[in-house]
Chain A
Amino acid sequence: MKFDSPAGPNPIDRLKVVGHATDRIDGKYKTTGTAPYAYERHDVAPDAAYGYVLGSAIAKGRVRGIDTASARRAPGVLAVVTTLDTPRIARGVMNVAYLFGGDVIQHYHQAIAVVVAETFEQARAASFLVTVDYAPEAGQFDLAVAAKTAEPVPADSGEGSGGNGEERVGDFEGAFAQAPVTLDATYITADESHAMMEPHATVAAWEGDRVTLWTSNQMIGWGHGSIAKMLGLPKEKVRLDAPYVGGGFGGKLFIRADAVLAALAAKQAGRPVKVALTRPLIANNTTHRPATIQRVRIGATQDGTITAIAHESTSGNLPDGDPETAVNQTKYLYAGKNRLTAMKLARLDLPEGNAMRAPGEAPGLAVLEVAMDEMAEKLGLDPVEFRIRNDTQVVPTQPDLRFSQRDLVGCLKLGAEKFGWAKRNPKPGQVRDGQWLVGLGMAAAFRDNMVMKSGARVRLDSGGTVTVETDMTDVGTGSYTIIAQTAAEMMGVPLDRVAVRLGDSEFPVSAGSGGQFGANSSTAGVYAACVKLREAIAQKLGFNATDAVFEDGEVRAGNRAIPLAEAASDGALVAEDTIEFGKFSKTQQVSTFGAHFVEVGVDLYTAEVRVRRMLAVCAAGRILNPKSARSQVIGGMVMGTGAALMEELAVDTKRGFFANHDLAGYEVPVHADIPHQEVIFLDEVDAMSSPMKAKGVGELGISGVGAAVANAIYNATGIRVRDYPITLDKLLDRMPDAA
């Protein structure tokens, strides 16, 4: 099905199942331990041996030799595969660093060997017996230094959500010079780790020249093609299966070393092998959100009309790596005639920087929305009002391009009302509650709404059960449930008559989970397949497909009503289709909007910051399942709070690695950090987004949160910290005298 005109009325609009707060249908399996994750697939590979990955002890250089003799003699050891035994393996989709093979070390904890043994403990113990001879080389590990020689990202690079490396509109410099009120400030965001619960893990098993990988991956389609290429096999000889994924946040968009090494090790050992990356390897072997240095300049008239806005960002990466596209949202969010957005990319020898939840917008809004707060103060305007004054219904860089829907103002106003914003004291440092300095902060949220083509297969059997198969993944987001809701709505059956099977490369290729495109795109794919199935059923039962109503387990038209299952009485009916989004979807700008409001307390003595309450108001099209959508948003708010207050991969700039490479050192928020959260969804449908009229929320939830926290800290203390995370050491010197 081509999506080439705005969605008209369709069966989803009935909202008998879609749009209702629905418990996750996989929830009972998760909570009872019966949803097996990749490393637990004893059912499919009961005889799997254990692979333990050894990471490079140097950040840059070459491996001269690897002595595995002692390890091979250690108890239980079945095989050792080293990077020197293996020609350099091709990179898969989105890989920047090479994952294995050859003698070149590009970053710390790059995989250099996998030791395979009968037990995990034996493999780990033997890995300590491997000795490696390195030829280290000097590298560049310090973004502050590398930034000085960073190269501009070319204007036509295509980096960013539909944008380019550098974009100019009007005469920014001239307008900024003439603006009566200006801000010019530079900010830093930190390297962050996805730190998902489930580590990267794979079980690999060969049958002849065919290999199956039970793995943990967000994008089965990409992964399938990638691992086939990496192993030099035709795609038909490879199967990838990831029915349950314990979080990814962008860290599992692509094939990583666990999958490659499990496949190589299983071949070498002659039996199935399972490999999970240890926590230290997750920090330094996989990917992370790169740190940025961002400069924002805003010029405005006295009444608060923005006349000039510039946002520039510098980040670093390995060769062939991309920049963190932190300037994206600045092309879309506020009006202003004269504009500049630009990025620079520095060469770093740290582990690979890549996508993490709301790449671009998460660190970009964390900066832009603080700059807006600073500017509002300079103008003597309420921060909410300043944003409302600069709202736009067209894309500022392309005035002919309208937003399909944009109710940012509605989000801001409703949020302000529900949060009690009017009670905020605009003068910072004035509100005390015992030992706490209390402040309120807010920020706008923006995230583009990407769409990806997505396929599904739907089957009606004689028992009346509808089974959906698609390689879509559920990374803890609720995909199983919204796909079941979609099929139930389309086929007119209750939710419990729908079975959903996900994550298998033998199913139709879906959008996958990423870029907050998964929910809308994958359900649209299911919608398309269901339209076909409805046609087949109608034909079978002698109805005209356009007249037939699928409802209450029946197909009806005129005076006829026939049980749905009857259509399959002499054999299951199967339909498959893919939703494809053509150029039409670019005729309007489809984006998601929101507003975050945060109250913090800052300890008068210690400068510890504790969030007291949070509110997000989101405008993101039709909300398919308010319960799982809310979970997505509150999760994003937690993650944004982490980025604002504590999350930072601490770079050892001398040795070239992230030193705090476990969950004791890399702190993420715990329950005690997040006392109260509320989420409101505006009642929207967006016919430009897909037949579902839905958009994504999983990344909108994190976008802007950090700035709202930072602005609340400023309101509480009068201290502006432009360097994330805002830990107490950055506040302490400027805290008021407590004695």
Chain B
Amino acid sequence: MKSFTYERPSTPAEAAAAVARNGQAKFIAGGTNLLDLMKLQIETPRHLVDVNGLGLDAVEPTDDGGLRIGALVRNTDLAAHPRVRRDYGVLARALLAGASGQLRNKATTAGNLLQRTRCPYFYDTAQACNKRQPGSGCSALDGVSRQLAVIGGSAACIATHPGDMAVAMRVLDATVETVDDAGAARKIPIAAFHRLPGDDPSRDTNLKPGELITAVTLPKPVPGTHIYRKVRDRASYAYALVSVAAILGKDGSGHVAFGGVAHKPWRVEAAEADLPQGARAVTQKVFADAEPTHENAYKLKLAERTLGAALNQARA
């Protein structure tokens, strides 16, 4: 860990300004990802702006019947919130499928959105990784890639977004609310929040330097069976090989997003009309442009069959 300076601002705009004016600053909230990355010198911020004192920890109804989740609401609290459990089951289930109880107690809503990939080459500082060190190359392309992206990758990066919560938020059409260093608020649809790697994998999201997440809002609840099905090699405490976040009616109609397959939660709305026809019709469209490696091509069949399981559950 490199030495760093530290401050605790008192307002979101001050926090944003503190990061914006220091090119090597980072926000810290729960720290469950950032601190590990700092110890390994994968992240080397010279200044930390602690946002834990900013409030931003309320879960409140919105005027249009939705829910506004403060950026600092802990994963444990969000999963247990009565409104979330009642109206947004897919989100509660996704949260509880992630990490461990101890980590969820610390991890925040905004931090969860910003967690970084678990690609093994990102974690090994002796290896080439364009995400960690732009221009160094990508060892994963011809390396160990069983966990990595099958779609939306590039010649520079095939990392995945490792989270569960964001996949549920994607199917819920959440909106990420931010404030910048000038105090200006912005609303970013979740679909536009995470990026594809393209030729700059070092950027995971479309946030501007210093832009601070203040909340995530959910629209009014969507009826249907809320399903989060996470598939992994062991029963708990592992990243998804593939996950499916779905809200489905008895006839199979509804919405679906996939996790563990791309640099961002993967959803193709145009394919959702085919949901009543079954999983294959949908995944053929959703993954039409897939470019898997020989090690992770299984994820295409797995995505189809996991969606099949979700459809079966919804129809039951």
Contacts and interface: CB of A to CB of B under 8 A. Distances in A.
Contacts of A55: 126
Interface in B263-296: 278-280
Contacts of B305: 605-607, 732, 735, 738
A645 B306 contact: no
A655 B2 CA distance: 28
Given A662-B123, A732-B305, A739 B279 contact: yes
Per DSSP, chain A at the interface is loop
Interface residues of B, number: 40
Interface residues of A, number: 43
A74 to B, nearest CB: 10
Given A655-B127, A672-B235, A664 B118 contact: yes
A665 B120 CA distance: 8
Interface string A105-124: 00000000000000001001
A406 interface: no
Given A606-B302, A659-B124, A733-B301, A727 B233 contact: yes
A664 B237 CA distance: 8
A605 B308 CA distance: 7
Contacts of A435: 309, 312
A660 interface: yes
B41 A606 contact: no
Interface in B232-252: 232-239, 241
B146 interface: yes
A667 B233 contact: yes
A308 B25 CA distance: 70
Contacts of A646: 233-234
A378 interface: no
A124 B146 contact: no
B2 to A, nearest CB: 6
Contacts of B279: 739
Contacts of A733: 298, 301
Interface stretch (B82-90, B136-144, B183-191, B200-208): B136-144
A603 B238 CA distance: 17
Contacts of B1: 121, 124-125
A606 B235 contact: no
Interface string A713-724: 000000000000
Interface string A424-452: 00000000000100000000000000000
A584 interface: no
A610 interface: yes
A655 B302 contact: no
B231 interface: yes
Q: By CB atoms of chain A within 10 A, which of B39, B124, B237 has the most?
A: B124
B129 to A, nearest CB: 12
A660 B140 CA distance: 12
B121 interface: yes
B120 A660 contact: yes
Contacts of B278: 739
Contacts of A670: 234-237
Given A57-B126, A603-B309, A659 B121 contact: yes
Contact of B120 (A606, A659, A673): A659
Given A655-B127, A728-B241, A728-B302, A667 B234 contact: yes
B3 interface: yes
A274 interface: no
Q: By CB atoms of chain A within 10 A, which of B144, B238, B312 has the most?
A: B144
Interface in A660-716: 660-662, 664-665, 667, 669-673
A729 B125 CA distance: 29
A656 to B, nearest CB: 11
Nearest to A109: B126
A738 B233 contact: no
A739 B308 contact: yes
A535 interface: no
A673 B237 CA distance: 11
Given A435-B309, A673-B234, A652 B298 contact: no
A13 B309 CA distance: 58
Nearest to A668: B234
Contacts of A651: 144
A732 B278 CA distance: 18
Q: By CB atoms of chain B within 10 A, which of A645, A655, A669 has the most?
A: A655
A128 B120 contact: no
A661 B3 CA distance: 26
A667 B139 contact: no
A184 interface: no
A650 B146 contact: yes
A564 to B, nearest CB: 50
A121 B39 CA distance: 8
Nearest to A603: B309
B164 to A, nearest CB: 15
A280 interface: yes
Contacts of B143: 652, 654-655, 659
Contacts of A659: 120-121, 124, 143-144
A669 B235 CA distance: 8
A614 to B, nearest CB: 15
A645 B96 CA distance: 23
B265 to A, nearest CB: 19
B311 to A, nearest CB: 8
B234 A669 contact: yes
Q: By CB atoms of chain A within 10 A, which of B1, B142, B302, B305 has the most?
A: B305
Interface in B96-132: 118, 120-121, 123-127
A159 interface: no
Contacts of B231: 606, 608, 728
A672 B96 CA distance: 14
Contacts of B238: 667
Contact of B308 (A75, A280, A652, A738): A738
B189 to A, nearest CB: 30
Q: By CB atoms of chain A within 10 A, which of B41, B120, B238 has the most?
A: B120
Contacts of A727: 233
A128 B238 CA distance: 29
A124 B298 CA distance: 39
Contacts of A610: 235
Contacts of B41: 125, 128
A86 B279 CA distance: 62
Nearest to A280: B124
A728 B233 contact: yes
Given A659-B121, A665-B120, A739-B279, A732 B302 contact: yes
Contacts of B125: 128
A192 to B, nearest CB: 14
Given A732-B298, A732-B302, A125 B123 contact: no
A665 B143 CA distance: 14
A90 B309 CA distance: 58
A55 B142 CA distance: 23
Contacts of A739: 278-280, 308, 312
Interface string A200-241: 000000000000000000000000000000000000000000
A555 B278 CA distance: 82
A645 B139 CA distance: 26
Interface of A: 55, 57, 75, 121, 124-125, 128, 280, 435, 603-608, 610, 645-646, 650-652, 654-655, 659-662, 664-665, 667, 669-673, 727-729, 732-733, 735, 738-739
7 smallest CB-CB distances across A and B, nearest first, come from: A57-B126, A605-B309, A672-B235, A729-B298, A659-B144, A672-B236, A659-B120
23 contacts: A75-B3, A125-B41, A128-B2, A435-B309, A605-B312, A606-B306, A646-B234, A650-B120, A655-B127, A660-B144, A662-B123, A669-B234, A728-B298, A729-B146, A729-B241, A732-B301, A733-B298, A733-B301, A738-B305, A738-B308, A738-B309, A739-B308, A739-B312
